[in-house]
Structure 1
């Protein structure tokens, strides 16, 4: 659970750090989705 929290916090930081353009928002959203996917895979195993 702690790992998921750390990943969510990192994703939130990335989202706020690079949201200068619409393309930046898309990349940040994709990175956040990848982090959530990785956490889900880790939790499943």
Structure 2
């Protein structure tokens, strides 16, 4: 249950950050920050 929730949150966060970015570099930084946040949560 918790794993499914984390996956759903991660997908939602990536979708939002991808939509908010204007450059490829920005997308990479946002994805990296989402990954770091996931590591901290675990």
Q: Normalising by structure 1, report the TM-score.
A: 0.51
Q: Distance in 2 between matches of 1:38 and 1:21?
A: 26
Instruction: Check conservation: 1:18, 1:28, Cα contact below 8 A.
Output: no
- Unaligned runs of 5+ residues in structure 2 are 1-5
Superposed displacement of residue 23, structure 1 = 0.1
With CA pairs under 8 Å and 6+ residues apart, which has the higher RCO, 1 or 2? Answer: 1
Matched positions, count: 40
| The one of 33, 36, 41 aligned to 1:34 | 36
Structure 1 stretches of 4+ moved >3 Å:
none
Report the RMSD for the aligned CA atoms in angstroms.
2.2
